[in-house]
Structure formats: structure tokens, C-alpha cells
Amino acid sequence: MSTLEIPVIIARKRDGEPIPADDLLAFIAAYVAGGVDDAQMAAFLMAGVIRGFSREEAVTLTQALLESGDRIDLSGLRGPTVDKHSTGGVGDTTTLVVGPLLAAAGCQVAKLSGRGLGHTGGTLDKLESIPGFRVDLSPEQLHDQVERIGLAVAAATQDLVPADKRLYALRDVTGTVASPALIASSVMSKKLAGGAQHVLLDVKAGDGAFMATVEAAVDLATLCVEIGEAHGRRTGALVTDMSQPLGDAIGNALEVGAAIEVLRGERSGRLRELSVDLAAGLLELTGREPAAARTEIERLLHEGVALETFREFVAAQGGDPGVADRPWEVLPVAPVVEEWRPGSGVVQGFACRRLGELAASLGAGRQRQGDVLDLAVGLEVLPRTGDVVDDGAAVVRVHARTPDAAERVLAQLDGAVRMGSDPADPVALVHRAVGFSGS
């Protein structure tokens, strides 16, 4: 691409004109190769955020990101290959339940996950709270483990979709994150590079999510599904609530323990409910009849088959398999636990993002890449919107390293959990399904 053509492409996007697929592919490739500098790419991204990208451009952007690096080849695996991706939230540890459920159901799950940043947690950090657990697997190790037990969760290598990493860093510092096409191409390029033939997206909506409204989340989910289908993958999405934490636990070891309790049949609630929805949805994408898929997932959970798969998975990646039997003896535990008891009332709602930030301030999350986490600390948020709280009952449990850290968070919970006297309706967990028959 000549230097003359680069300003022309930027100007086309500035003026709202469509960018031909070949030009867009070449533009992204030139950026990776150093022929387009950060200032030019930032101008192009800002023009795209303001003017918008078409569906066709979003598909092409995904292809451009995908072609910038390596891909995982899962074609030799025996079972249907499946993957689940959440757009991020608070108290969301469904991967640790959904993965074992799907592997127990005969699917093969090769999941490449990330680390947490800001108010959202990362699956890799959570798993590393299990003593000995390794997340750095080679592509060969990933493939062999999935073939053997049906499940592996590992860190993505630097060679997987490198263009996305560069673009995301630039978007983060130029105010160009909020574009459905850019978000969708980023998400879907990683899912396509991961190699699974069936992909289910959990697109969050609400205060604790990147998409604040259900309408915006549905638009993003629809675009992601269209991109996946355009690239030959069976793709669906659930738009789910993140106006309140998904599970009671916010924090790495706390969330692992909560997921294990779901697998052990000892915990009900929204985390269990959504995990079943996601696992059954993915089975449906592989061709199972919807009712039969849900029945099978419930059976695998009830009979403890998924728990045994989880135990095998932990052992295969070097972790202590005893965590499946004695989670709170194996996982790190915070030395200070304090409870917030605001008195009687009705839970009106949550500042969900704020709760994630408070957990991070205890050491459960990063403010910047490279921060060292305290895997034991975090919050337990016990009621949900609409629940009646009796006088003297605990609403939030703070797990901290020191008494001072616990007191600092306790003093800020009034603004994060809204209590009142008026009745409040519970909030639906799943707002919309996209990409399924009848949706």
C-alpha cells in the first residue's frame, strides 16, 4: 500500500464511505507491518467510531485481525469443539462450571482465556488460586489434554491475533473502545483463532458491563453472531444481566470456591442458573434438541459427573485435585472477614461496577497490567435486587488482608448497595437469545 492511499482510506471513513474489503485488509496488514503509524490508525479508528462500520466492514475487520497471527487447529479432535465467551462482568465465574459440564456431555472445550483488569475478573487469575495450577500450555499440550479429558483452559500466546492486541492498546488510550464493530471484531477474531466450531457468547448488559443497556448488548450480540456465521462457525449469544453481581463471590479464590459449590450441588442461585443456560445453549448449537440438552446438563450436574471432570481438569494442569472435595482447605483464605449489616430493608439495586472496583481495591483486581493480585481477598454480596433483608442480617462480607483494608471498604458500601423500604422487582437474568431457532 502506498503512502498516498493511507490518507485516502482514512478520509473515506471520515466521510462515511464504505471501505472495500481488499483495502481494509491491506490497511490492517500495513499497520501490523509498520507501514501505518499509530497516529494514522488512531484517526481511522476515531472516524469509524463516529461514522460507524457496516456489517461487511466488521466481518472484514475480523478477518484482518485473524490473519495477523497463529490459529489453533482443533480439526483432529473427535468430539464437537465448543467455546464460550463472556464480555466481562462482576462475580462471573461460569467458565469453571460450564467447561466441565460440556466436557462431561461429550464436547471438547479448548478455551483460551485472559487475566482481569479493572473491575472485571479474569479466568486465568481465578484458576491460579488453586495451588500448582498451570495456565501456560503449548498448542500441543492444549490439544492433547482436550483429546484426553475434554477440557483445557490456557493463556493465549502472543502470536494469537497480535493485531488485536495492538489495536486494543491504541483504542484504550484514544477513546475509541466504544464501537460495536471494533468490539465484535476483537471478540470474534480471538474466538475464531481458538478453533472451535461452535461458539456461544454471553454478552453482558448493565452497570457492571461494557454495554450499559440491553439494546446496546443485543446489537453487539447480533453483530458477533453474524460475524461468526459469516466465518463458518455455528454461533449464538445470550444477552444477560450485569446490573448486579452474577454470583455471591467477587474475588479469585472466592469465585473458584463458589463454582465448585455449584458443581457439588451445594449452591443455587444465578450463577448456577446461568451456567446451565450457557451449557445447554452450547449443546443446542451442536445439534441437540433444546429440552434434551437442558435435561442432560441438569443430570450431569446432579449426578456429580461434571465435578469429576473438573477434578481431572485441575489435576491435568498441575493443580491440587483435592480442591474439588475441600475447597476452603485448599484455596487461599483471607485472614480478616468483616460483615456489613445495614439494617432491615429491601435491596433496590447495586452499583455493580463499584462493587467490582471495591474488590479490586482490596487486591483482587489490577489497576494496570503487571499488578500482583491477592488471590484470597474479595467480597461476598449475599442478597439480590428485590430481596428483603432482616434487621441484623449480613448483606456484604468483606474478605481482606488487614483490618484497615476491610474498614475502608465497609465505609464505602452504602453507595454500592442501595437499600430502601419500597418493594423492588427481581431483575431477569437472561434478556435475549440471539442465533437460536425461535429467537
For the annotated catalytic residues, the residue numbers are 85, 164, 171, 186, 190
The edge-to-edge listing of strands for the beta sheet with 249-250 is 249-250, 378-381, 396-400, 336-340
Q: What is the CA radius of gyration of the chain?
A: 22
Contact 115, 124 (CB under 8 A): yes
Q: Torsions phi, psi of 308, nearest 5?
A: -65, -35
Q: What contacts 292, CB < 8 A, 6 or more positions away? A: none
* Closest of 182, 171, 186 to residue 38, by C-alpha: 171
Take residue 207 and report the three cell numbers written for it: 452497570
Contact 238, 86 (CB under 8 A): no
> Residue 379 pairs with which residues in a beta bridge?
250, 398
Query: What type of residue is 191?
Result: K
Q: Sign (positive/negative) of CA torsion 112, 117, 118, 122?
A: positive
- Strands 388-389 and 345-350 turn out to be antiparallel
Q: Sign (positive/negative) of CA torsion 147, 293, 187, 12?
A: positive
> Which secondary structure element, helix H or strand E, spans residue 13, and what is its range?
helix 5-14
Q: What contacts 74, CB < 8 A, 6 or more positions away? A: 81, 108, 110, 143, 146, 195, 196, 197
Alpha helices (H) in 205-326, listed in sequence order = 214-230, 252-263, 270-285, 290-302, 305-316
**CA atoms in the 13 A half-sphere facing the CB of 72:** 33
Take residue 323 and report the three cell numbers written for it: 480442591
The length of the chain, given as a count of residues = 439
Identify the three-state secondary structure at position 397. Answer: strand
Contact 372, 328 (CB under 8 A): no
In whole angstroms, what is the distance from residue 277 CA to residue 98 CA?
9
Query: What type of residue is 432?
Result: R
* Closest of 185, 221, 233 to residue 81, by C-alpha: 233
